[in-house]
Structure 1
Amino acid sequence: MRHRSVADLMTPTAVSVVPGTTFKEIVEDVVTHTLRLSPPALSVEVADGRVTLSGTVRRRSLVPVLLRLCNSVDGVVGVVDRLTYEDDDLSRK
């Protein structure tokens, strides 16, 4: 397995669709395997190519990464952000 940097994951071609796989399965795979977030912490809903993410992530800095990764899935037309975070690691600078 090839390891990717965060910069690699932010490109539009970071995630490709396997035939027969639903958008929800792909996005859940991004959430659980790429970012190693626990499935109970997040909810993924997909309708007409629009992904809605809700739930809580540990750090605020993960929110834009998660949104970009989900947007990079072929066929996703948009991502609705309903995410919250436990730790505002971006305001500590």
Structure 2
Amino acid sequence: MTAPAVTVRPHASVAAAMRLMAGHGVKRLFVVDEKGRLIGIVSRGDLLKVFLRSDADIAGEVREDILDHSLWAATSDVQAAAEQGVVTLTGTMERRSDAQLAVRMTERVNGVVDVIDHVTWRVNDVPVWKGR
């Protein structure tokens, strides 16, 4: 055991928990509430299960959770396919900013290794940065 115990909060991301484990060289983390009370234990195996998802599950989550429900833009012309965790988005959206948002949200789906963006748009509503 490591002293003091390495802990994580229940709403920490999988990536944050994995970084804690790697940084402290531990195989398990104690999950504690806001008062520091133990509410569970998470192992490396538990965290890895998140990434061991079928391509069909990943593509389905992208379609249902992101394209169909999370975006306020029309996405019926956008398709999502996954192969070995790499999601390819194809199709057309009205605005470039919505297409970029779809890609960013897809990158955050558990099990997604990379996103290939083949989404085109009709209107480029992304301002040009004129930094110094």
Matches within 5 A, 1:4-83: 22-29=57-64, 30-38=66-74, 40-83=76-119
What RMSD in Å do the two structures reach over aligned CA positions? 2.6
Shift of 1:22: 0.5
Identity over aligned residues, as a percent? 29
For structure 1, list consecutive stretches of 5 or more residues without a partner in the other structure: 1-12
Shift of 1:62: 1.1
What is residue 86 of structure 1 aligned with on the other side? 122
Deviation string for 1:68-89 (max 9, x for gaps)? 1000001100000001001111
Q: TM-score, normalised by structure 1?
A: 0.70
For the pair shown, the structure with the greater C-alpha radius of gyration is: 2
Question: What residue identity is the alignment partner of 2:114?
Answer: G
Deviation string for 1:18-70 (max 9, x for gaps)? x8981111000211100144453111111000000000011011122111100
Moved over 3 A (4+): 36-40
Bigger relative contact order, structure 1 or 2, given CA contacts below 8 A and separation 6+?
Answer: 1
For structure 2, list consecutive stretches of 5 or more residues without a partner in the other structure: 1-12, 14-49
Distance (whole Å) between structure 2 residues aligned to residue 42 and residue 50 of structure 1: 16
Contact (CA 8 Å) 2:74, 2:94: kept in 1 or not?
Answer: no
Q: TM-score, normalised by structure 2?
A: 0.51
